[in-house]
Amino acid sequence: AKSEMPFDVTSAPNQLIEALRFFEMPVPEKNKPSFSWGHQPPEQIENLAKFIIKVSVDVRKLCLAEPRCLHIRAPCYILGDLHGNYQDLIAFEKALWRIGPALSPANFLFLGDYVDRGENSVEVITYLLAQKLMCPNKFVLLRGNHETRLQNSFPGYSPCFKDSCTALFGEEIGGTVWESVNAVFDTLPLAAVIDNSIFCVHGGIPPQTLLSPNDFGHSCHSLVAELNRLPRDIPHPDPQQGGSALAWDLMWNDPAP
């Protein structure tokens, strides 16, 4: 049962969390610094990739069953862009869910932009997907503008997520990991409402022109209804590529100063 998964040390997501604990810790006798994989046999790195792909497939199924706008109860911690910064993520873990999300009374809402720019995009998204699979109702992942193939393959981010996958796993396996994770990104919800009063999204509130005529009241209720009419799988959200203008705006529309 899913409720037992956080306590099953043999489950795929727990195996990934255990691998990430090794990644975090220094191993002086093997000249491995903290936040490094060190020198691992190729089969170990390949096994890591297989677990990431497996967990990605399962999380994609979870996300396809979720509405595009989720309702969450307080207490809820809201966390913004991580951009491949694994050390910050672990600092949040130690401060907010030290005994694990399953045993915490709070929920955890992440607003997107998990990858690119930082050195540890692979590790950040691996951790989040593993926790999402073990605690699907407590770990909520929204989609940001970097959760698209076009953005997370752009070399200018130095490194982009795709390059990070290739650097760790090699061209072929790394490409498969990158595509598997992006298949999850395609299905991430776009917004959340906490206690029917706090609207949360990566970008900003969309203009009325993007809502259906019947929803021009622009109340929270009408916006949520419009959001939940969006497809649950949007591989190309850019409206210039046949995607959704509303989804695109929610991912990109940063509030004006």
Catalytic choice (39, 71, 146, 202): 146
Query: What's the one-letter identity of residue 138?
Result: K
62/83 Cα distance (integer angstroms): 23
Structure tokens at 12: 């795929």
Let me know if 202 is a catalytic residue.
no
Q: Is the dihedral of CA 17, 21, 24, 30 positive or negative?
A: negative
Query: What's the one-letter identity of residue 78?
Result: I
Quickly list DSSP for the chain: -GGGGGG-TTSHHHHHHHHHHHHHS-BGGGTB-SS---S--HHHHHHHHHHHHHHHHHHHHHHHTS-SEEEEPSSEEEE---TT-HHHHHHHHHHH-TT-GGG-SSEEEE-S--SSSSTTHHHHHHHHHHHHHHSTTTEEE---TTSSHHHHT-GGGSS-HHHHHHHHH-HHHHHHHHHHHHHHHTT---EEEETTTEEEESS-PPPGGGS-GGGTT--HHHHHHHHTTS-S--S---GGGT--HHHHHHHH-PPP-
Block residue for tokens 């399953």: 102
Instruction: List the catalytic residues.
Output: 146
